[in-house]
Amino acid sequence: MKQKVLIIVLIFFPFFLYGSTVNDCMECHGEKGMGSAFVDLSEFKKSVHGKIICSDCHEGIKALPHEEKLPEVRCERCHSEVFKEYEKSIHGKKKDGERNAKCADCHGSHYIKPSSEPESPINHFKIPYTCGKCHDDPKLVEERKIPVKEPLKQYLSSIHGRLLLEEKIEEAPNCVSCHGSHSIYPANDPASNINRKNIPSTCGGCHSDAYKEYMESVHGTSFVKGAIDAPVCSSCHGEHRILPPEEKESTVSPLNVSKTCSDCHASERIIKKYGLPPNVVSSYEDSYHGLAYKFGDTRAANCASCHGHHLILPSSDPRSSIHPQNLKNTCGRCHPGASENFAKGRIHPVITKGKKEISDLVIYYVRLFYFIIIPLVIGGMFFHNLIDFIYRLREKYKEQKEKGGFLRLTIAERIQHFLLLITFFTLAFSGFALKFKLAIPYFEGPCQEEVRRWIHRSAAIIFVLVSIYHTYYLLFTKRGREWLFDMIPNLKDISDLIYAFLHYFGLRKEPPPFGRFSYIEKAEYLALIWGSVIMIVTGIILWAETIVLKYLPYWVINLSTVIHYYEAILATLAIFVWHLYHVLIKPGAKEANIAFITGLLSEKEMEEEHPLELKKLKEKGSSSE
């Protein structure tokens, strides 16, 4: 009889059993000194599991105190249907005996709240942070080889993240909206919501109008037919960091949308595979629209301006914005009053002889005409001026021989200058040819780079040899030592510079009188020495990369590349801006300085450019040569 009463009491009044069992557990787990094993009973009672006893989840307790290590909590005992989904998911998979993510990692352990409560880690507004605990943890991401880095950080800056977390719009998607909750699969799993074949329908769950248009478009119909390269939503918009088109960094902003389209429409592989028009991107870039677009003009038409966004249809479809019957209206959005003539001709012309369209043939032959006429006209002009230049040089040379002149450069110095001139411009062209993809004439294919490389290196060898000889010339010849001494900057150069600016601004009547070398020539010569040393050292490092890397780290190669490139720009600009101006262009009484050819300066040139040196030579009684 007593046994029956006890059973009835336990059935109808289970709190007696609960109270004693929980109280027994709390004798230890109610102590805060238990660390992570501490349980706040009052908080536990508020949880969804607050009315069950400890042993319902924690099995294997046969006596108190229990074993330190208990069997893993088995949530599936109550949540069997959900567990079936979870067990198949990427989180339910085991690695080294441990599941990738346990139930408690997302839901919590003792203080589990329903998702409707704001404090719950699976509340709609809290889910991004719950997922981010693992997926934005660099150590865990590296350990588990998760390919996507910092998805939470990307999501928080996205339009989805801002709508959800800043504007508190409940309809805005969080992680589970796209990935699912318990049935989360990797992107390469056909069952995954974010598998490529499922992305349109996943996004279409919220963006139904865009989904409908996309499925009717050339992209959507190709996608349905199994074209694996056909773009889906994420191909254009991105994944976690989806930004509204009004923002500059958005992949579909007016500034970027043409670049986004180019990823496919300028891809040689995709063009050949699907027989797409090969020149749509290049012809757009060459057009006014494309050129204005490159300058950042957001008013210029981009791909979407004409073709549309989601409902992109072929020009043969009467509904298409680029159908001949619709071009007047499409173009008229930017060009009020556009006539039917906008449809007469190709927007993306194919300039080849083989095309049958009369417009393409006309453009082809007009371009061919200019390809012929430009070299003929400019070549003729160049030939005429070259002959004129040679004639005038010859006449000036005759004049100097007849009247005499003052020796400026010896034969040895002229040879050095000539070799420096040839090697400098050869190095500049062959170096920038690599950076800016300049073709070496008459060489195509794989040998193009080989030829460029050996031209550059051969010129470099000659340049180094000239530099070595010049150093010898300066140190071991009488004239060279005089040259070096006269090139050393002094206080007079500073006063000459100030004097020159006072003269330029009309504050001094006469220009400063220069000696053998002015501050102009000294500055250039010092720059030549500086640049030569830097270019030779970095050039050797880059040429002997394999040997250098036996002793130095790779960042030295990267540093040398940067220095070599920017020093080349500096040197080239200095030659054009400084040297050529003072030698050939500078207005004045004298003609172009041809001392690098004849070695002589006339008395008039010496008087204008080097009056102190002229006075010195006359005092010494040096005769003109």
Distances (CA, A) of 385 to 1, 466, 595, 599: 129, 31, 20, 23
CATH of the domain at 530: 1.20.950.20
Neighbour count for residue 92 (Cβ, 10 Å) = 19
Residue 622's pLDDT is 54
Specify whether 491 is located in the same domain as 614. yes
281-289's contacts with Cβ under 8 Å and 24+ in sequence apart are 283/347, 283/348, 283/349, 283/350, 284/258, 284/348
Specify whether 598 is located in the same domain as 462. yes
Specify whether 451 is located in the same domain as 599. yes
Q: How confident is the model at residue 623 (pLDDT cuts 50, 70, 90)?
A: very low
Residue 613's pLDDT is 86
Specify whether 548 is located in the same domain as 503. yes
Q: Which stretch of 290-304, 337-351, 516-530 has the lowest confidence by average pLDDT?
A: 337-351
- 126 located within any domain: yes
Residue 211's pLDDT is 97
Neighbour count for residue 388 (Cβ, 10 Å) = 10
User: Would residue 317 be called left, alpha or beta, if left means φ above 0 and alpha means ψ between -120 and 50 degrees?
Assistant: beta
Residue 445's pLDDT is 64
Q: Which two tokens stand for residue 265?
A: 């429409």
Specify whether 43 is located in the same domain as 93. no
Higher pLDDT, 460 or 11: 460
Domain boundary residue, one of 142, 170, 195? 195
Q: Which two tokens stand for residue 6?
A: 């006890």
Report the chain's terminal Cα–Cα distance, integer Å: 142
Specify whether 78 is located in the same domain as 30. no
Whether 610 and 603 have beta carbons less than 8 Å apart is answered as no
The domain of 25 spans 2-70
Higher pLDDT, 64 or 264: 264
Q: How confident is the model at residue 607 (pLDDT cuts 50, 70, 90)?
A: confident
Q: How confident is the model at residue 24 (pLDDT cuts 50, 70, 90)?
A: confident
Residue 492's pLDDT is 93
Domain boundary residue, one of 145, 180, 195? 195
Neighbour count for residue 564 (Cβ, 10 Å) = 17
Residue 343's pLDDT is 67
Specify whether 481 is located in the same domain as 446. yes
Q: What angle do CA 161, 229, 183 make, to 5 degrees?
A: 45
Collapsing DSSP to helix, strand or coil, 610 comes out as: coil
Residue 357 reports pLDDT greater than 80: no
Alpha-carbon gap, residue 337 to 398, rounded angstroms: 68
DSSP letter string over 101-122?
S-HHHHH-SSS---TTSTTSTT
Residue 136 reports pLDDT greater than 60: yes
Any idea how long the chain is?
625
Residue 20's pLDDT is 46
Specify whether 559 is located in the same domain as 482. yes
- 383 located within any domain: no
The dihedral built from the CA positions of residue 565, 566, 568 and 569, taken in this order, carries a sign that is: positive
pLDDT tens, residue by residue, 384-414? 999 998 888 788 778 777 777 788 889 999 9
DSSP letter string over 509-521?
SSPPPP-SS-HHH
Residue 10's pLDDT is 44
Per-chain mean pLDDT for the chain: 88
- 189 located within any domain: yes
pLDDT tens, residue by residue, 414-473? 999 999 999 999 999 999 988 887 776 666 666 788 888 999 999 999 999 999 999 999
Specify whether 428 is located in the same domain as 508. yes
Q: Which of 220, 183, 186 is nearest to 200 (CA)?
A: 220
pLDDT tens, residue by residue, 263-313? 999 999 999 999 998 889 998 998 889 989 988 888 899 999 999 999 999
Specify whether 559 is located in the same domain as 525. yes
Q: What is the pTM of this model?
A: 0.72
Angle between helices 411-435 and 447-476 (to 10 degrees): 150
- 453 located within any domain: yes
Upstream peptide bond of 65 is cis (omega within 30 degrees of 0)? yes
Residue 572 reports pLDDT greater than 90: yes
Specify whether 49 is located in the same domain as 129. no
Residue 505's pLDDT is 92
- 76 located within any domain: yes
Domain boundary residue, one of 70, 101, 116? 70
- 54 located within any domain: yes
Q: How confident is the model at residue 588 (pLDDT cuts 50, 70, 90)?
A: low
Specify whether 479 is located in the same domain as 504. yes
- 228 located within any domain: no
The number of distinct structural domains making up the chain is 3
Distances (CA, A) of 610 to 313, 406, 494, 527: 74, 11, 17, 21
DSSP letter string over 539-562?
HHHHHTHHHHTTTS-THHHHHHHH
Residue 547 reports pLDDT greater than 80: yes
Alpha-carbon gap, residue 273 to 267, rounded angstroms: 10
Higher pLDDT, 443 or 503: 503
Residue 3's pLDDT is 53
Higher pLDDT, 264 or 97: 264
- 232 located within any domain: no
Higher pLDDT, 447 or 104: 104
Q: Which stretch of 102-106, 353-357, 499-503, 608-612 has the lowest confidence by average pLDDT?
A: 353-357
Cα-atom radius of gyration of the chain, to the nearest Å? Answer: 40
Residue 17's pLDDT is 44
Alpha-carbon gap, residue 239 to 205, rounded angstroms: 15
Whether 159 and 242 have beta carbons less than 8 Å apart is answered as yes
